[in-house]
Amino acid sequence: MNVIVCVKQVIDPEAPPASFKIDAAANKVIPPAGVSPVVDPYGEYAVEAALRIKDTKGGKVTAISLGTNFVRDVIKKPLSMGADDLILLDDPAFVDGDSWSTAYALAMAIKKIGAYDLILCGREASDWNAGQVGSAIAEILGLPSASLVKKIEITDGKAKIERILSDGHEVVEIPLPAVLTISNELGEPRYPTIKGIMAAKKKEPITWKPADIGVDPSKVGAAGRRAKMLKLFQPVREGKCEVIGADTPEEAATKLAVRLREAKVL
């Protein structure tokens, strides 16, 4: 099985909300000082899904990432988890796109890779939360797709998947090759092993520029956007928390219950 996984380097979503700041004039987020970027969490679940398939079916997992200012140790995580190759679409022309123009570049890179049975993406990236790149790649490559996937079973050129619904899940059969977007219900991604980290250290990612994948520069990145972002802002938070204090936690708890009753909240 040849599996391609799309991952993204993002600002750590676990960084405390207080460290989050926006440059309003530039409509950009200021990366918090001293906080290392990470592979986007749902992208990691997608890598895990790919590796589980490799565990049972054998084959190859190729991770691909579009961006700039890659931190090598960060973006190599899929390799240290067990992926075989890492391809970086590293060029200013590729960035600041919307889901459509980003997916177009990824799709062209996937076409260049050539042989694949399955393409996996996280269900949404933790920065823009758009949740559309997987669908767009499927649309551009003319492949069947399914989103919100938590389980994949491969048999005979088909994938049997479990897809999350609001009140449970559905079991769907989808022919390969296909695009699937993965959700956290898949289960915790594996930690890199020492062996994996050592192997990743030796492995150099392949870097592709727009000319390498034959894209029309006007269709990728900022130039290829269909959606325009007019404003990025932090909503003003009002209100203050009434912290109930006491000598012991038990006393504070009792006081809290009384206070809530008094305020007719309970």
Partner 1 sequence: MAEYKGVMVYGEIAEGKLAAITTEALGCGRKLANELGEPLCAVLVGTGIGNFAQETIAFGADKAFVIDDPLLKDYQTDSYIAVMEKVVKQVMPRILIMGQTSIGRDLAPRLAFRLGTCASLDCIDLKIDPNTKLLLQTKPVYGGNAQAIFTSESYPQTVTIRSKAMAPLARDASRKGDVVNVPAGLDPSAIKTKVLQKVKEAVEGIKLEDAPIIVAGGRGVGGADGFKQLAELAKLLKGAVGATRPPCDNGWVPEGLQIGLTGKIVAPDLYIAVALSGSSQHMSGCSGSKNIVAINKDPESNIFKVARYGVVGDWKKVLPAFTNKVKELLAG
Cβ of residue 89: shortest distance to partner 1, in angstroms?
A: 20
Size of the site for partner 1 (CB under 8 A): 84
DSSP 8-state symbol, 49:
H
Degrees (nearest 5) of the Cα angle 67, 73, 75? 30
58 sits near partner 1 (criterion: CB under 8 A)? no
Q: In a 3-state reduction of DSSP, which class is residue 111?
A: helix
Phi, then psi, of 153 in degrees rounded to 5: -125, 125
Which of 136, 154, 182, 220 lies at the binding interface for partner 1 (CB under 8 A)?
Answer: 136
Backbone angles phi, psi at 185, to 5 degrees: -65, -10
The answer to whether residue 198 forms part of the interface with partner 1 (CB under 8 A) is no
Touching partner 1, residues 25-44 (CB under 8 A): 29
**Interface of this chain with partner 1, residues 152 to 181, rule: CB under 8 A:** 160, 163-175
Q: Which of 96, 139, 153, 212 binds partner 1 (CB under 8 A)?
A: 139
Token pair, residue 156, equals 């005979």
> Per CB under 8 A, does 253 bind partner 1?
yes
Min dist CB 84 to partner 1, Å, is 26
Which range of residues in 77-85, 106-114, 119-127, 208-216 is near partner 1 by CB under 8 A? 119-127
**Binding window for partner 1 (CB under 8 A); candidates: 56-64, 67-75, 142-150, 202-210:** 142-150
178 φ, ψ to 5°? -150, 170
Hey, how many other C-beta atoms are within 10 angstroms of the C-beta on 102? Answer: 29
Nearer to partner 1 (CB atom), residue 62 or residue 135? 135
12 binds partner 1 (CB under 8 A): no
Contact pick of 33, 115, 194, 226 for partner 1 (by CB under 8 A): 226
Q: Which of 96, 127, 153, 212 binds partner 1 (CB under 8 A)?
A: 127
28-32: long-range contacts at Cβ-Cβ below 8 A with a sequence spacing of 24 or more?
28/232, 29/127, 29/232
- Using rule CB under 8 A, residue 102 touches partner 1: no
Residue 236 touches partner 1, criterion: CB under 8 A: no
- Residue-level length of the chain: 266
Pairing mode of beta strands 118-122, 178-182: parallel
Q: Which is nearer to partner 1, 45 or 208 (CB)?
A: 45
Closest CA to 35 of 74, 62, 1: 74
CA dist 182 and 200 (Å) reads 24
Residue 242 in contact with partner 1, rule: CB under 8 A: yes
The residue (of 44 and 91) whose beta carbon lies closer to partner 1 is 44
Interacting stretch for partner 1, rule CB under 8 A, among 57-65, 113-121, 185-193, 201-209? 185-193
**C-alpha span between 24 and 209 (Å, rounded):** 30
Number of Cβ within a 10 Å radius of residue 145: 19
CA–CA distance, 112 with 115 (Å, rounded to integer): 9
Residue 18 makes contact with partner 1 by CB under 8 A: yes
